[in-house]
Structure 1
Amino acid sequence: MSEDIKTRAINYLNCTLGDMHEGEQLNFVCLDSTCKEIGLICPVCRSQKHAKHKVIPLKIFLADISNNVNGKQNQNSIDQLLTQIDQVRTRLLSSLKDTVQKMVLQIKLLEDQINLSHKNTRQRLLEQNQTQMNFPQIFQQILNCQYKNADQLKQDVRKIIDNVSQLQAGKIEIDFKPQRLFDQYQKASSEAIAQFNHLLTQFKSSTSKISKPIEKFTQPLQAQNSSNFTFSTVLKSPSITITEQKFAHQTADQNSDNRFILIEPQILESCKIAIKITNLSNFIGIGIAYKNVLSLKNMKFDHQNLGHGSYMISSNAHTWSHSKKEENMAQKSFTFTNGDIIIVDVSLENKTLKFTCKNKPNDTQAILLTFDNPDNDDIHFCINMCSFGERVEILDDWE
């Protein structure tokens, strides 16, 4: 396969960035891990942004990958890897279950200790109270030599001693102390509660450290790779231009026509995107849209009627809904303007769309819209720009 690649003429596609990139072939690959635009590039891209990056010709890249794939093809079949990953999950869950069971046993022991301390302290309070009530009788029995049993006499004298104090040298005073005993018990309990809270904080920190190594594997695939979102060169209004795949610019004043541009790839998993408003003149909408619906409408914003193909919030504090009248053209959102960063969080499982303003978290409240999963249509993030000069940017680094 590698030799076949070396001798084959590759039909390279042209770069889509325009300007000096026009007509240049995508025949290089940037492999620099720190590069935000890692991947396929043209010679002009290489000169402008990748001069100091690790860049190799696409043909060499494919040949090397082919050698590598062929060399490792028989080492592990996918069935073996799937079996192994199932075994890893089983070990993880077994270890977690074992830890939880041991924690439950320790908590049960602590619960028994708390109950026993309460029982004993309560008993001691009752005994002290009884001693206080019986003290005059005991005192008289000792004075009148009424005791016949020495052990009983010792026991009663001990009770008296437990309730006297020598605050002044050579002077013994009665000091019944049920309140002091309660105060000591309450203090010990408060210290225990403080320890509970401290342990809870430590536990949360520990679980966070445990989950950190596998955290990236719990994220939806799109969310892991949000930097791959780019403006579509096809699914857009003719008056909107694109620069470097991440910037969109409205070049004409529009009423309802020629206002949408979609973002690729389509949304297949729950994910987020960040859009920065670089220039607002009149109206910018941000959200999701149905590709086929908007394509049939030629990217027209038929906002007064349901079925217009989008779910959005707009800079004038309105919400827009393809399917729900109460959320369409309704003043239920927050305003945003130049420099604001709007986060759009899509949950396909819950069919919800959450909007937040990252740089103004204290000034705006999150807006939640619900949407319907379309039949035979693709969902894309979308931008709706009304006036000449309006610009937006897809941000890669915003967490």
Structure 2
Amino acid sequence: MDFDSRQLRQVLGAFPTGVTVVTTIDDAGKPYGVTANSFSSVSLDPPLILWSQSMKSTSHHAFRDAERFVVNIMADDQVHVANQFAKSGDDKFSGIAVRPGLGGVPIIDGSAAYLECVKVAAYPGGDHTVFIGKVEHIDRAPRDSLAFGDGRYKVTFAHDLGGRVAGVEGASTLQALEAVRLASAALPQICEEIGQRTLGLAVWGSHGPTIVRWEASQHPVSPHLQTGVVVSLTQSATGRAFAAFMDADSTAAAVARELESRAVSGDPDNGRLACSIAESREHGIARAVGAAPSQRHQVIVNAFSAPVFDASGQMVLALSTTCRADLLAPEWNGPVPAALLQAARKLSARLGHSPVRRGTCVPTN
């Protein structure tokens, strides 16, 4: 072989799977459980499934000798359950809500689905045992399933996005909703790609750019993150992204009102927004470089915001990162804005968008 076990694991990780916790009990009624993603269907008639377990597992003897087992398919909010059953120990069921199923085998509450099985065969498979089960009872809950691939947990979403639906009233709105769903599912991975910095998702609401989702990070900008917040069109990176890349007919009135309000309060724009819009279009991404403590976060912040477009070329949302200025360099070509822009372009491509390079502009005083 021209590969080792580590390389094989990496290649197998390119095939995402669901996540299950398989449970059983021994003759004394003691419950056992183990996290497994080696689960698959075998036959519909008769209804057969399989899963495999390492022979080195401390619970292998229990599953080897048991007559029954339950495959609990994890929901996307059950990462803690999957982690708990993936570890060795005698207290795996501690704090986990279960109920007895057929033969008294535990069923884990909150799972996306479960299959109660009687074991019909067990075969050696290298360092694993492959168990075949005949399905006797099933249930499916209205929950999204947890996934695993490339060595990390993931969330699942439908690959059903495309252009506007011709002739359908409100199709663009449906497209925007699908974009938010797609982006929300991708936020954890994007957060990791930009170095675990605060990541937000914004849409154009009835009052302007509105934050609809924050992704937790290892470097939170502050404890004052809220959804439903309308941000400044002219001074925040998110707002500038909408001002630069959204249809001008949709933003012009709101921009004019904000500039007028700033002028009345003694903070005239003096062409700074026009310069910012031109720079944003040149680089494909908007930014705001903090010169004073943010009123919301109470720290000096730098921020970048990348637009996401649908198949018709309309901006449907903004992908934004906000971070303390000392942890996020303001350069346009830095690694964080580059990764953020790349993530936004991937989301746009999933929505059927073909990018078009915009023009440039020279700032004026």
Q: TM-score range by the shorter chain?
A: under 0.3
Larger strand proportion of the pair: 2
Larger helix proportion of the pair: 1
Q: Larger Cα Rg: Structure 1 or Structure 2?
A: 1
Query: What TM-score comes out, normalization by structure 1 length?
Result: 0.22
